[in-house]
Amino acid sequence: MRVLVVGPDRQDIGGVANYYNAVFPRLENGDEDTLYLEVGSTHGKHRGAHVVLDQVRFGKIITKYRPDVIHLNPSLDMRSFLRDGVFILQAKLRRVPVLVFFRGW
């Protein structure tokens, strides 16, 4: 199974990055082929343009990697929620199942 995991830079501080730092090494040791796509602009790279660049990179990776499932872990702030909503739309248009995991309620 090919899994595309979409999340923030794993060097960031915060709950989602900490979650992936704890979980992702275990995913890499399984039978699944797991790819991590870093999104967002927390370190000033592509400040402002990252919104469009993240969507383009996501679309290219779906086309090239051809995941069986995409795992999203959106933050509950409006910008992240909208960005991940467009990711879901892109995935659905390509008929790729999406698992959305909300944490930190």
Domains of the chain, residue spans: 2-100
B/e letters for 18-48, b = 16+ CB within 10 Å, e = fewer, are ebbeeeeeeeeeeeeebeebbbbbeeeeeee
Q: Which residues partner with 4 through β-bridges? A: 35, 70
pTM (2 d.p.): 0.82
Class of domain 2-100: alpha beta
Condensed to tens digits (0 to 9), the pLDDT of residues 52-105 reads 888 999 999 999 999 999 999 887 778 888 889 999 999 999 999 999 987 655
